[in-house]
A and B are shown apart, each in its own frame.
Chain A
Amino acid sequence: MAVTDAPKMITSRFGRDDAHTLAGYEASGGYQALRKALSMTPEQVHTQVKEASLLGRGGAGFPAGVKWGFCPDGVWPRYIVVNGDESEPGTYKDRMLMERDPHQLIEGVLIAAYAVGCAQAFLYVRGEMALAQERIAAALNEAYAAGYVGKSILGSDFSVDVVLHWGAGAYIVGEETALIESLEGNRGMPRLKPPFFPAAKGLYMQPTIVNNVETLSNVPWIITHGGEAYAGFGAEGSKGTRMFAVSGHVKNPGVYEVEFGVTTFRDLIYAPVYGGGIRSDRQLKAFIPGGASAPWFYEEHLDLPLEKVAVDKAGSMLGSGAVVVMDETTDAVKACLNVVRFFAHESCGKCTPCREGTTWLERILSRIDDGYGRSSDLALLMDVCDNISPGIAWPPKQTTICPLGPSAVSPISSALQRFRPEFEAKVAAATKARADAVAVAVDVRTAVPHG
């Protein structure tokens, strides 16, 4: 098993009980990267991150260094927004980072703000994460008091304010433009890209860099050790390490930081230091490799390396780093319904195909599951999917505004392709039950004596 001895880059303090305090953080090397960054020019800092090829950890996997370069020249103010809305089912890595090592995130934000030239940063934390909220608030207070945040940081002429914002509990607000709307005080509904790419027209229509919590938590390590050192770990298309949240039918659900590319899904699910194998040593039925919106993987994908390019090529994604494992006892229809229900419930309602389509899909699926399916329903499911995500291809196309709508398509197309007989069996049972019911009704009628 390829359990590498790559360093823990972002979870190194998870063993410390006091890592969330300033004292604990400083005692374990905290805020040294900020000092170092301030001794460099912003361009030099930016170059280190580019050299690290740090991929975004929020889902899309876009290189952070490249994104930071997208702000149009000479347009001020510009903002940095930290996406801490983590709500994808099975994903809970950002929560860990915020609860266990809030200063590391703050330090990453400060360095990013320095590189990009922001005087204001916003930390958007999911509404339900009370402890994360509390820890970040406390950490920010400490960091302000210690002069790490605020005016003339560490005596330099660099100043930045960090604003903590608590979300109201909507998955869609994890989508960056919806998050920006929400920050502005509006309903959390995505904006259209184009024209509203945050780097050009973001918060208050100003250039805005939106990065995931985990993405920015990597930055202190990169500055301390250099981009080149970072890029020395991982695989060709995915550098460094990454946190994976393993959940579902495994023995040891949890969050693990692993080196990109070297580790495989099999390692993650079966290695004793990670998932530890399937509960009761049952057989694997399927697993979702990168959050609920990712197409499902099966037995044959277990040996794929945890690495963006390979996983993309195999027709899914590492997405939010959530690996959800289903064992052989899983009912494919119910599993599928479960995921689709989530997306229907979380649809913001802005665009027609997602608002109407996801709920329709959910209803058809629950009808099938409840024993009211029709033989035409399977084709209908696929066609409704096709009207949300034309071609049902990967990466998905969409008739929707944002990728949430197509997210509901992935589980259906996966399950229907792989486990079609399970759907057919439910539909057949329902059809038979209906026919029997009619037969009984007819019998009864004919049996009723006249007069």
Chain B
Amino acid sequence: MSRVAGAEVVEIELPLREEVIARLEMGEMCHLTGVIYTARDAAHKRMVEALDRQEPLPFDLRGEVIYYVGPTPPKPGAVIGSAGPTTSGRMDAYTPRILDAGLKGMIGKAGRSRPVIDAIVKHGAVYFAAIGGTAALLSRSIKKVEMVAYEDLGTEAIRKLWVERFPAVVAIDCHGNNIFEEGFKKYAAE
């Protein structure tokens, strides 16, 4: 991680190292570079079912980052289609289990439930928010894509993405500071 003096953006290399997570603060704009995995509703359901049956997961979650996204089909010649974040709250029912299994970071949009925030603190993880609706822009920082599992789920399949300077905000840091509970206070009237 390099923090250039006066620069507003924190450059982060993946996988996330513990000391990097420890230094991230709610509200910081970051650029992520490295490998992330996609998974949304249906893939989460399958992963948790696999954990219940004590079966191996399609990839080793330990230390990894999951991006909640269901991209559009790529145009011919494109690496990926438009790929912005989906609503993270829909994954809340599964997330504590996934964090127990070793996941360190998540990228999505909007707030998380109390149990998820508690699990983030417990495991020293971090939740990033990408900017919802900026899917054409975000797909530009995705350089390579590989199918990992659940291909039958189409847009909801698990894919491995190589990203370069992928923009995301630290929304919930490892201390449990939550921008969706704190952010508005400074700007609310009365």
Report if A and B associate in a common complex. Answer: no
